[in-house]
Structure 1
Amino acid sequence: MTGPEHVFNQIQSSDSGEYYCEAQNEMGTDRSRTINMDVKCGPKSTSVSVSPSGEIVEGSSVTLTCSSDANPPVDKYTWYKKNGVYYPSTTYMTTGPHLVFNQIKSSVTGEYYCETWNGMKTGRSESINVNVRCE
């Protein structure tokens, strides 16, 4: 780039990094000090995945994982069952990026989604269907 300024149109977190400029004339070249630019943003691309993938059989262990791209990083995860009832149950669920079902039961069948918060904004995933087959 040339010119005395650089304009970021629609700045994104991927623009974060170290920047400096150089000036040059017939007498020589000089370089500025380096500055660090840290672009903050709320959670985006929030999604839920299930592990293991494939058929879920009653009695097995299943983990739902919530992930999100945010700066600063997500520090609060909230899990919901699609019927709108706030869900963790202290019996077999935990809060945080992982929702773990140990010895899953067919009554857990339903659609789940997560919400993320990083102090700036809330992100919400699409729901994922958890279908537990009775054994």
Structure 2
Amino acid sequence: MVGDTGGYFCRASNEAGTKDSQTKHLSVQFIHPPSIVLPTTLINGNLLEIVCTAGDAYPEPVLEIYKNGKGIIASTNGTGTELSYTANVMVSDAGDYFCRASNKAGTKDSQTKHLSVQCWCDSPKVNDDRIKILLAGVSILYGIFLLVLPVYFWLINCLEYRKEHRKGM
């Protein structure tokens, strides 16, 4: 326990007297895993906030936030028990995030959490992580019949990639 940090010595006593050993200083170092908080799903352009909070540790740890295994931001040496990252989210921000705490006692990682980033469109949509197909009904009046032809929009990273018109169903 951190409360055990301090100076220790040994004292021996007998009929001849008492003798103390040299004092040795003991510094108890430990680290517990940090925690990470972030949303699971955001819409492209919204505000992303990731908060990494250190677990119990001595000495105070350095905190880092990782995305897909690569560090994106780190605290400076022992400057606090919380690290936050804020940005306007883009589709490329989707991925797996975790927080790492390190000190002289070692390194511990938080649980990994996944962030999905979706495109916002005004049309009904079929969700897929990489490509979104949007269906917008196009009506054509043909005689006395109303014919609805679907128009498909293929989006990659929220940008229109290709538009297809389908005939009759």
Task: Give the counterpart of 1:116 among 89, 92, 101.
Answer: 101
* Identity rate, percent: 20
1:87 aligns with 2:75: no
Q: Which residue of 2 aligns with 1:59?
A: 45
TM-score by length of 2: 0.46
Decide whether aligned partners of structure 1 residues 72 and 59 sit closer, same or farther in structure 2, where only a CA change above 3 A counts.
same
Q: Which residue of 1 aligns with 2:34?
A: 46
Q: Which has the higher strand share?
A: 2
Q: Which residue of 2 aligns with 1:72?
A: 59
**Within 1, Cα distance between the matches of 2:100 and 2:110?**
7
1:87: Cα distance to partner?
3.3
How many aligned residue pairs are there?
A: 92
The amino acid across from 1:72 in the alignment is: P
What SS does the corresponding residue of 2:92 show, helix, strand or coil?
A: helix
Higher-RCO chain (CA-CA 8 Å, sequence separation at least 6): 1
The answer as to whether partners of 1:61 and 1:100 remain within 8 angstroms in 2 is: no
What SS does the corresponding residue of 1:107 show, helix, strand or coil?
A: helix
TM-score by length of 1: 0.56
Unaligned runs of 5+ in 2: 5-25, 76-81, 121-169
Question: Superposition RMSD on alpha carbons, in Å?
Answer: 2.5
Q: Which residue of 2 aligns with 1:98?
A: 83
1:78: Cα distance to partner?
2.4
Unaligned runs of 5+ in 1: 1-11, 18-37, 89-93
Question: Which has more radius of gyration?
Answer: 2
1:119: Cα distance to partner?
2.4
